[in-house]
């Protein structure tokens, strides 16, 4: 059961509109593409999680928390009868490789190590539990839902779920024999109340009203609608 479903963030919605109405900076354009691609991967993984039995699982998506004056974001939490699973979803493509705690693209460019990000998210979530006196076993996983991603030097002990393994893990969670208890459902509701709605890290480019293209855009293809005999019509997709 999706207690908190996923929606595009306020930041992403604003960047979508700005992209259609003005020429945004290259840095902002790349950030926008990363947000869109990230949402695509998270939504794809959500579709897999929808197949889990509602009486045995509760799912909370796109969570922003604060503890010890620090904000942190979690892509997905899955509550089962015996464990709370923390998922960090990365919609990577192509080939990457690890070298100790460092993470690289095959071209040699170093990027942020998502395993370190996962570890930080787990630590912050545990601190949040301690602050609010919540108790439940948790396991963190890094999820790569894109089928065209491969990680070299990935050892079996790493908390990673690749696209080819998702179905296998779902079968494991589906095999839980007992449903969630009242206490566990109350835990999920409590976590939902701790979610912060607005992020302090929103990054939007500077713009003025005069720079924006005016009009109504097509909700399907984002082309500017034209007025024809008192009817707004999209010239691109009709």
Task: Please check whether residues 189 and 234 belong to one and the same domain.
Answer: no
- Per-residue pLDDT tens digits for 6-61: 999 888 988 888 888 888 777 788 888 999 999 999 999 999 999 999 899 999 99
Residue 77: which domain range? 2-207
Task: Please check whether residues 141 and 196 belong to one and the same domain.
Answer: yes
Task: Please check whether residues 32 and 93 belong to one and the same domain.
Answer: yes
Tokens of 15: 């960047």
Task: Please check whether residues 7 and 78 belong to one and the same domain.
Answer: yes
pLDDT at res. 40? 96
Task: Please check whether residues 230 and 144 belong to one and the same domain.
Answer: no
pLDDT at res. 213? 86
Task: Please check whether residues 102 and 146 belong to one and the same domain.
Answer: yes
At residue 202 the predicted structure's pLDDT band, cuts being 50, 70 and 90, is confident
Task: Please check whether residues 150 and 224 belong to one and the same domain.
Answer: no
Tokens of 199: 């992020």
At residue 214 the predicted structure's pLDDT band, cuts being 50, 70 and 90, is confident
pLDDT of 138 strictly over 90: yes
Task: Please check whether residues 151 and 229 belong to one and the same domain.
Answer: no
pLDDT of 176 strictly over 80: no
Q: Which residue has the higher pLDDT, 221 or 73?
A: 73
Mean pLDDT of the chain: 91
pLDDT at res. 154? 92
Task: Please check whether residues 100 and 45 belong to one and the same domain.
Answer: yes
pLDDT at res. 217? 83
Environment class of 20 (CB within 10 Å of its CB; exposed 0-12, middle 13-18, buried 19+): middle
Rounded to a whole number of angstroms, the CA Rg of the chain reads 21
At residue 163 the predicted structure's pLDDT band, cuts being 50, 70 and 90, is very high
End-to-end alpha carbon distance in the chain: 37
pLDDT at res. 130? 96
Task: Please check whether residues 8 and 38 belong to one and the same domain.
Answer: yes
Task: Please check whether residues 138 and 155 belong to one and the same domain.
Answer: yes
Per the structure, how many domains does the chain have? 2
At residue 218 the predicted structure's pLDDT band, cuts being 50, 70 and 90, is confident
pTM, entire model: 0.88
Q: Which residue has the higher pLDDT, 148 or 238?
A: 148
- Per-residue pLDDT tens digits for 79-115: 999 999 999 999 999 999 999 999 999 988 999 999 9
Task: Please check whether residues 197 and 219 belong to one and the same domain.
Answer: no
């Amino acid at each position: 059961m999706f207690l908190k479903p996923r929606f595009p963030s306020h930041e992403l919605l604003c960047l979508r509109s700005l992209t259609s109405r003005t020429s945004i900076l290259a840095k902002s354009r790349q950030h926008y593409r990363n947000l869109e691609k990230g949402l695509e991967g998270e939504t794809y993984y959500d579709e897999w999680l929808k197949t889990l039995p509602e009486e045995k699982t509760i799912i909370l998506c796109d969570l922003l928390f604060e503890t010890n004056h620090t904000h942190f974001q979690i892509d997905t939490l899955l509550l089962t009868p015996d464990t709370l699973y923390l998922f960090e979803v990365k919609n990577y493509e192509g080939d990457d490789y690890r070298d100790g705690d460092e993470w690289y693209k095959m071209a040699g460019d170093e990027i942020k190590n998502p395993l370190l990000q996962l570890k930080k998210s787990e630590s912050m979530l545990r601190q949040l539990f301690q602050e609010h006196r919540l108790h439940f076993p948790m396991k963190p996983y890094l999820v790569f839902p894109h089928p065209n991603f491969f990680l070299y030097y990935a050892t079996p002990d790493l908390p990673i779920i690749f696209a080819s393994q998702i179905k296998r893990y779902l079968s494991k969670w589906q095999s839980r024999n007992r449903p969630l208890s009242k206490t566990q459902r109350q835990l999920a509701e409590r976590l939902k109340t701790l979610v912060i709605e607005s992020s302090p890290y929103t990054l939007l480019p500077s713009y003025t009203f005069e720079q924006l293209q005016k009009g109504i855009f097509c909700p399907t293809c984002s082309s500017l609608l034209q007025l024809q005999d008192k009817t707004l019509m999209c010239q691109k997709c009709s």
